[in-house]
Amino acid sequence: MRKLSALLLSTLSALAVLLGPAPGARAAENGEWAVYPAASRLGGRPYFYLSADPGTTLTDRVTVANKTSAPLTFRLYGADAYNTDRDGGFAVRTQREKQTGAGAWIKPERTRITVPARSAVTVPYTLTVPADADPGDHPGALVALDERIARGGEGSVAVGVQRAVGARVYLRVNGPIVPALAVEDVTLDQDRPLVPGTRTSSALVSYTLHNRGNVTLDPKVVLKARGLFGRTLLDRDLTGVPAELLPRQKIRLTARWTGSPQLDRVDVTLTATAKDVKETGTVSFLALPWFAAAVLVVGGAAGLYGLRIRRRRALSA
């Protein structure tokens, strides 16, 4: 079991990388170290905002600050950004993953640095945009990966975890800007009582938000539901929609509708808007309690059976 633990530790230590989150407009840090653009006080210039033509090279500097009382050694690398499947949050690729955008174009002057206790080290880097780079946004990050491996897990299964903090890089390659958004694969699952009125019913609306364009979007989504004769049953702005939907990214989201009708014919519409684009997705459903449906089916079958009996009697008379 000890050999198994050691094997898992050595194998997973390079794979289980945690990226320190950087929500809002502030420098990325985790309490022990911070990563931010140079020539700036901590938090004064939280991210890199860059613009370049295809085929050009930009130069800048990144600062890594050690807030602890002991030296820390980091690996510096560029990483592509993406939206997480869990909540659409901003995340970046690990060092072992293939980088195809800004992460592949960023080259720090030093890829390994040791930062003394309560000090900071600034490292120059270049960002070379290929001549054939697509226009639009190419988000990424400059990541400082702690070389220490923290042991996680319980019992005989040991998992090595490395932590990382990344300063976001918002790069725009000059050229035609094409914002595009789609609402795809809208589905609905009902949860309603067997006997109408015995408890509150609900519906779970699921949908995919897809950024088909080449720029980052800040989408807003409105959920509307209309019943028979055009009655408005629901009209609300949805929460949990990511503030940044990166180019060519898609995420699966859900919205709970508590108090959905138990007897109605309903049309549900999701309307997503962002940067002068507006797209909709729809789904319809029949709200019919199982008990009521069973009564209708049994009643209908009994009616048909009775009608056949009458016809036979009429023919035999």
pLDDT score of 198: 72
Count Cα neighbours of 17 within 13 Å in the Cβ-side half-sphere. 21
Mean pLDDT of 280-303: 67
Mean pLDDT of 234-248: 96
Percent of the chain with pLDDT over 70: 77
**Closest alpha carbon to 224 in 280, 259, 268, 286:** 268
CA–CA separation, 80 and 194 (whole Å): 50
CA–CA separation, 6 and 28 (whole Å): 32
CA–CA separation, 224 and 115 (whole Å): 54
Percent of the chain with pLDDT over 90: 68
pLDDT score of 179: 96
pLDDT score of 35: 95
pLDDT band at 140 (very low <50, low <70, confident <90, very high): very high
Top-confidence residue, 313 or 128:
128
Sole residue written with tokens 């190419």: 138
Token digits of residue 266: 């309903």
Q: Is 3 exposed, middle or buried (0-12, 13-18, 19+ CB in 10 A)?
A: exposed
267 and 226 in contact (C-beta within 8 Å)? Answer: yes
Q: Is 61 exposed, middle or buried (0-12, 13-18, 19+ CB in 10 A)?
A: middle
Average pLDDT along the chain = 85
Top-confidence residue, 293 or 240:
240
CA–CA separation, 45 and 25 (whole Å): 9
pLDDT band at 21 (very low <50, low <70, confident <90, very high): very low
pLDDT at 20 over 50: no
Mean pLDDT of 60-88: 95
pTM of this structure: 0.80
Local structure of residue 21 (DSSP, 8 states): P
Q: What is each CA distance from 188 to 68, 171, 240, 291, in whole angstroms?
A: 50, 38, 18, 20
Token digits of residue 17: 């990388």
Strands 159-173 and 48-52, sheet pairing: parallel
82-86, 189-193, 235-239: segment of lowest average pLDDT: 189-193
CA–CA separation, 264 and 294 (whole Å): 16
CA–CA separation, 98 and 77 (whole Å): 12
pLDDT score of 193: 76
pLDDT score of 302: 54
CA–CA separation, 28 and 270 (whole Å): 34
9-23, 110-124, 163-177: segment of lowest average pLDDT: 9-23
pLDDT score of 262: 87
Top-confidence residue, 200 or 169:
169
pLDDT score of 253: 96
pLDDT score of 16: 34
Model pLDDT for residues 109-139, shown as the tens digit of each residue: 999 999 999 999 999 999 999 999 999 999 9
pLDDT at 1 over 60: no
pLDDT score of 197: 65
Three-state DSSP state, 54: coil
pLDDT score of 84: 94
231 Cβ contact list (under 8 Å, min separation 6): none
pLDDT at 8 over 50: no
Mean pLDDT of 201-211: 95
66 and 119 in contact (C-beta within 8 Å)? Answer: yes
pLDDT score of 192: 78
Mean pLDDT of 229-244: 95
**Closest alpha carbon to 14 in 154, 181, 206, 150:** 150
Mean pLDDT of 10-25: 39
pLDDT score of 292: 53
Three-state DSSP state, 56: coil
pLDDT score of 266: 95
